[in-house]
């Protein structure tokens, strides 16, 4: 894809900066964070200082004041080197912060967005429950009106930043009598980070002056196949007290808000998957051109040519899908099916490409000495998180068929 199709000089400056950061700072540390399943606090602090935790938000809200494409470029570049870092920025920005920017009152934006945009605290999005995944209408967490506050009970699972985060947008049922998808409301819940020592050490991730909601608890940390340096945990509401002013957006309109947030998130996840695939291709080019078998570089065999050519072709196609969807969103055009197509295609491509990358590395690819095994593990969740591939197909088919069928 020619850069001039979507990118300005400023986009390229952002890309150069993030590419340097990814190669020089993140790449050398990614393997250790993955092996130890540790949240990369030092790198998160550096990303916060560079403005990467508030890219598309206005400067008066503490953001960098850049556009959506800049944000997508950052996710793409980070994921080439390490998906955990990319999902940390993505979950914080699109899932944790964007609902408050999109649906919050002026007061809510003023209170919460600057903390998130500057990376002072980390944000997350609490939607999935043990009994409500793709079927978010099955939300069981309840919120009971107690006048000046709500009392929440229930639990959310697989929540990115449920542990390290301090501001989480969570959904709960506020009208038990309403139909499945109605009667759900979004709340801004606050809690202390579970990693106070590290947050204090690096100077990001904790704000002692932010009032916290009693009864919001961090559950067990998930032991995952991939994205191991990203913080994924259970979030438990045990008679949690959430002030009335923390109701986000329209009362009983939480389901619609959630769909909106997920639509935007899909493009970010597509960019992330694209980044993993491209990173894997770069590793393959470097490895196969130096690794010798039968007296010559592995890359000189035609069977390897075919594999590399297929990877590169699919990556090129995915780039067009991802950046076109991002451009649609940025320019205010409808983007729902295009975002779903980009996410579907890029995530399935990144699975194929990383499996192939491990194969091209032979035995080395199966060891943690080379990053392709990590990339392969990181790829799988792209077909699951923020809407499975199956859900993406449903979204696309619904757009195609519209009212043609019931």
Active-site residue (options: 77, 198, 383, 386)? 386
Rg (CA), the chain: 21
Does 3 bind other proteins (CB under 8 A)? Our answer is no
Decide: helix, strand or coil at residue 260.
helix
Does 55 bind other proteins (CB under 8 A)? Our answer is yes
Nearest to 271 by CA among 319, 313, 337, 341: 319
H or E segment to which residue 220 belongs: strand 216-221
Does 58 bind other proteins (CB under 8 A)? Our answer is no
Stretch that binds other proteins, among 57-65, 85-93, 184-192, 270-278 (CB under 8 A): 57-65
Tell me the sheet residues that pair with 145.
150
H or E segment to which residue 158 belongs: strand 149-160
Q: Catalytic annotation on 77?
A: no
Q: Choose between 56 and 205: whose C-beta lies nearer to other proteins.
A: 56
Considering only 6, 39, 40, 51, the residue that binds other proteins (CB under 8 A) is 51
Does 43 bind other proteins (CB under 8 A)? Our answer is no
Considering only 2, 9, 223, 403, the residue that binds other proteins (CB under 8 A) is 9
Does 70 bind other proteins (CB under 8 A)? Our answer is yes
Q: Choose between 22 and 391: whose C-beta lies nearer to other proteins.
A: 22
Stretch that binds other proteins, among 13-21, 99-107, 174-182, 296-304 (CB under 8 A): 13-21
Q: Choose between 282 and 310: whose C-beta lies nearer to other proteins.
A: 282
Considering only 21, 162, 199, 341, the residue that binds other proteins (CB under 8 A) is 21
Q: How far, in Å, CA of 127 to CA of 258, rounded?
A: 8
**CB-based contacts of 326-335 (< 8 A; 24+ apart in sequence):** 326/6, 326/68, 326/69, 326/72, 326/267, 326/271, 327/6, 327/69, 329/68, 329/264, 329/267, 330/67, 330/68, 330/69, 335/263, 335/267
Q: Evaluate the CA torsion angle 69, 70, 76, 79 in order and state its sign.
A: negative
> What is the crossing angle of helices 68-81 and 254-290, to 10°?
40
CB 360 within 8 A of CB 284: yes
What tokens were used for 330? 């940025």
The count of residues interacting with other proteins (CB under 8 A) is: 18
What tokens were used for 205? 């991730």
Does 50 bind other proteins (CB under 8 A)? Our answer is yes
Q: Choose between 33 and 71: whose C-beta lies nearer to other proteins.
A: 71
Closest approach of Cβ 2 to other proteins, in Å?
12
Closest approach of Cβ 105 to other proteins, in Å?
26
Considering only 32, 36, 49, 245, the residue that binds other proteins (CB under 8 A) is 49
Stretch that binds other proteins, among 30-38, 59-67, 187-195, 265-273 (CB under 8 A): 59-67
Stretch that binds other proteins, among 50-58, 157-165, 301-309, 383-391 (CB under 8 A): 50-58
Closest approach of Cβ 23 to other proteins, in Å?
10
Considering only 7, 14, 128, 143, the residue that binds other proteins (CB under 8 A) is 14
- Cβ neighbours of residue 81 under 8 Å, at least 6 residues apart? 22, 23, 26, 27, 30, 279
What tokens were used for 131? 């009994």
Q: Choose between 53 and 273: whose C-beta lies nearer to other proteins.
A: 53
Residues with catalytic annotation? 386
- Interface residues with other proteins (CB under 8 A)? 9-10, 13-14, 16-17, 20-21, 49-52, 55, 59, 64-66, 70
């Amino acid at each position: 894809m020619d850069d001039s199709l979507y990118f300005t000089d400023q986009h390229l400056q952002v890309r150069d900066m993030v590419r340097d950061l990814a190669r020089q700072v993140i790449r050398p540390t990614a393997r250790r964070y993955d092996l130890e399943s540790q949240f990369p606090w030092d790198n998160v602090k550096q990303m916060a200082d560079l403005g990467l935790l508030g890219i598309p938000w206005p400067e008066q809200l503490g953001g960098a004041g850049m556009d959506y494409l800049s944000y997508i470029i950052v996710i793409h570049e980070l994921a080439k080197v390490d998906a955990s870092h990319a999902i940390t920025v993505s979950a914080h920005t699109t899932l944790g912060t964007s609902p408050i920017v999109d649906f919050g009152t002026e007061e809510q934006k003023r209170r919460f967005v600057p903390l998130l945009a500057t990376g002072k605290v980390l944000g997350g999005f609490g939607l999935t429950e043990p009994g409500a995944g793709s079927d978010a209408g099955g939300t069981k967490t309840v919120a009971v009106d107690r006048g000046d506050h709500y009392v929440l009970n229930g639990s959310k699972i697989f929540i990115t930043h449920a542990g390290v985060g301090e501001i989480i947008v969570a959904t709960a049922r506020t009208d038990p009598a309403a139909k499945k998808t109605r009667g759900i409301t979004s709340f801004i819940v606050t809690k202390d980070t579970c990693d106070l020592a590290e947050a204090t050490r690096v100077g990001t991730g904790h704000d002692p002056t932010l009032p916290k909601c009693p009864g919001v608890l961090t559950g067990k940390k998930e032991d995952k196949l991939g994205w191991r340096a990203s913080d994924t945990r259970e979030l438990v509401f045990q008679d949690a007290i959430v002030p009335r002013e923390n109701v986000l957006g329209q009362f009983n309109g939480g389901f619609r808000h959630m769909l909106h947030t997920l639509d935007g998130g899909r493009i970010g996840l597509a960019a992330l998957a694209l980044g993993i695939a491209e990173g894997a291709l770069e590793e393959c080019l470097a490895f196969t051109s130096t690794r010798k078998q039968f007296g010559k570089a592995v890359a000189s065999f035609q069977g390897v040519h075919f594999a590399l050519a297929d990877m590169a072709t699919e990556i090129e196609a995915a780039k067009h899908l991802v950046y076109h969807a991002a451009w649609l969103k940025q320019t205010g055009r409808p983007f729902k099916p295009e975002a779903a197509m980009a996410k579907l295609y890029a995530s399935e491509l990144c699975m194929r490409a990383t499996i192939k990358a491990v194969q091209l590395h032979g035995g080395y690819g199966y060891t943690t000495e080379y990053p392709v095994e990590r990339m392969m593990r990181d790829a799988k969740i792209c077909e699951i998180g923020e809407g499975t591939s199956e859900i993406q197909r449903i979204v696309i088919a619904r757009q195609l068929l519209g009212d043609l069928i019931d």
